[in-house]
Amino acid sequence: MDGVAVEPIEEVGESSSPPRAVGGPGVYDIKNEIYESLVASGNEEVLSNPHFKEQFDAHFSRLPASYKLDLNVDRAEDVLIHQKVLTEAKDPDKRPVFHVRFIKLEEQNLDVTKNNEDTEDESDFGDALSARHDVTYAVIHEIIFSTTDKPKLLSQLSTLLSDIGLNIREAHVFSTIDGYSLDVFVVDGWSEEDTDDLHKEIEAAIIRNEGSWSGSSHSSATERILSVQLKADDWDIERKLLKMGEKIASGSCGDLFRGSYLGQDVAIKVIRSDHLNESLLLEFHQEVSILKKIQHENVVRFIGVCTKPSQFCIVTEYMHGGNLYDYLHKHHNILELTMLLKFAIDICKGMEYLHQNNIIHRDLKTANLLMDSNLVVKVADFGVARIQNQAGVMTAETGTYRWMAPEVINHLPYDQKADVFSFAIVLWELTTSKIPYETMTPLQAALGVRQGLRPVLPEYMHPRLLDLMQRCWEAAPAERPTFSDIRVELEELLQLIQEARATNHQENNASKEYEKQVFLQN
């Protein structure tokens, strides 16, 4: 396969691919040529199957049009492998299905390896996105996975490959229309051409994480336990008092509704009962536990929670202004500098409060920043937020690749400074009104960030703002400022700009008054 493709959106901005031209008059369609190549090859699997053409067409109809862009006629047999793993994935007992094969030996660039020795402490972490190997030849393998599609599957597969010391060179990730994944990884890091031992290692890694592949199995015991835990205070509200309105967003495991509670507008995040499992319920409990602890003008206000089994929902204030992602990218707003600074200061105040309470957000991005009717920005969505442990570090990869700090991508220990890195990307986004790394897939962006890639610096950005942004996305977390420091700098800059504009306004008025007097005198 050539190039990189990524499955449909898991969350706003996370897994959306760059736009690619597919179809249309005169566009070459590789599908027919692949079919003819398979028939002409004399492949027994093809010739002995009277329904092959029908199954071949059905295979392509299940996958997005971009799938064709990553196929090669010289490797037409790839399609047969893809068909096989997708078919096997329909059996729950076999999921996740995987296929391993050796691709080639590749000579390494020794000069590049030598140059990278100085930065080994930043890159050699055994992570699938960061592993390096000081060898003359790299052994390249291809690993194909298929299972039921679900959120964060890309991260889960990357972690699995990391566990066995593999480095991802390419990723081709697709979702079928009937809810299955087709994930093709080109990797190095395995020293042998033979695939038997690699197959056993992958199988062992899957078994070690067996619970995480269980999908949406219902756990009534966990529901009951969490229901008791959450009802131990005054935050539990009666579902019958909630009036459900229009659905305003939909995710993989739940829906967000506008509604009312005791006469006030509210947002109601409902977990769909058919997606309840132990992992999701524990995440729900963690989010509620954090929401109960926080109250700040720049953090979305928690109102209550419903904890009856199969009726789990979180109720917060309704934010009439929507989220910043839509404000910038769907409504195409360009921020004037003072408005930009006010937005940034609001975010800093909310994040400063969270960090003072030892809470790391872990998924700071414009989609999780909401505005009220007065355009006051508030931090929202604490689904993956955590209270920082006593050691002050975490290692689990979470968040959204386009906004994710390099230490999180590389599975290094991290702390609150990971949120500061994400804020730098948000600040760039507020300045440019562009999606970060918009010409790349999320995984390409992540690979680039761990190698030092950052968004292109905007030429028209205020110099002090530009300097602050660059300090916030420093590779070394210790070099990044705190949100308290950032807030002070932004407030000082806003004051300077407002004073300068006030002075200019006074001077303009004085000039107009002078011109008026001269005119009257004449």
DSSP bridge pairs for 137: 107
Which residue type is seen at 456?
V
* Opening angle at CA 74, ends 71 and 75, nearest 5: 60
Quick one: tokens of 143?
Answer: 């690993």
DSSP string covering 356-384, please?
HTTEE-S--SGGGEEE-TT--EEE---SS
3-state per-residue secondary structure call for 84-107: HHHHHCCCCCCCCEEEEEEEEEEE
Q: Distance between CA atoms of 393 and 129, rounded to whole angstroms?
A: 20
Cβ atoms 279, 215 nearer than 8 A: no
Q: Distance between CA atoms of 229 and 221, rounded to whole angstroms?
A: 13
Task: Determine whether 245 is exposed, middle or buried from the number of CB atoms within 10 Å of its CB (0-12, 13-18, 19+).
Answer: middle
Task: Determine whether 220 is exposed, middle or buried from the number of CB atoms within 10 Å of its CB (0-12, 13-18, 19+).
Answer: exposed
Cβ atoms 259, 237 nearer than 8 A: no
Residue with tokens 């199969």: 310
DSSP bridge pairs for 59: none
Cβ atoms 15, 442 nearer than 8 A: yes
Q: Distance between CA atoms of 150 and 175, rounded to whole angstroms?
A: 10
The greatest distance separating any two alpha carbons of the chain, rounded to the nearest whole angstrom, comes to: 104
Angle between helices 77-88 and 30-40 (to 10 degrees): 100
List the catalytic residues: 363
Which residue type is seen at 356?
Q
Query: In terms of Cα–Cα distance, which of 397, 385, 318, 321 is closest to 357?
Result: 385
3-state per-residue secondary structure call for 298-346: CECCEEEEECCCCCCEEEEECCCCEEHHHHHHHCCCCCCHHHHHHHHHH
Cβ atoms 477, 414 nearer than 8 A: yes
